[in-house]
Amino acid sequence: MQINPKAAESLADPSEYPNLFEDWQVALTVEKSIASQRYTLSHKLLCFVLAYCLPEVKKNIESQKLLICSKE
C-alpha cells in the first residue's frame, strides 16, 4: 500500500482543528468508557464459552493425548 505524503499532510488533525470535528470530545469520552468495560465483557464471555464448551474440550484433549501416545 502506497501512502501519498501530500495527502497525508493535508488531513486535518482533530487536536489542531477541533471545529472541523463535531463532537470529537464526546467520541473520545465514549471510547474511553467502552474501553474500560471491554475487559469485563470479554472476560464474562470467555467464562461463559469455557463453561459451555469445557466438557467437549476436555474430551477432545484426552482423545488427542490417546492418539499421540498410541503413535509413539
Q: What is the pLDDT of residues 17-62, one digit of tens each?
A: 888 888 888 888 888 887 777 667 677 777 777 777 777 766 766 6
In a domain, 62, yes or no: yes
Whether 42 is in a domain gets the answer: yes
Count of domains observed in the chain: 1
Q: Which domain holds residue 28?
A: 23-71
* 46 assigned to some structural domain: yes
pTM here?
0.40
Instruction: Flag whether 6 is in a domain.
Output: no
Q: Report the largest interatomic distance among the alpha carbons of the chain, rounded to a whole angstrom.
A: 69
Q: In sequence order, what are the residues at sequence separation of 6 or more whose Cβ sits closer than 8 angstroms to the Cβ of residue 21?
A: 12, 14
Residue 8 resides in a domain:
no
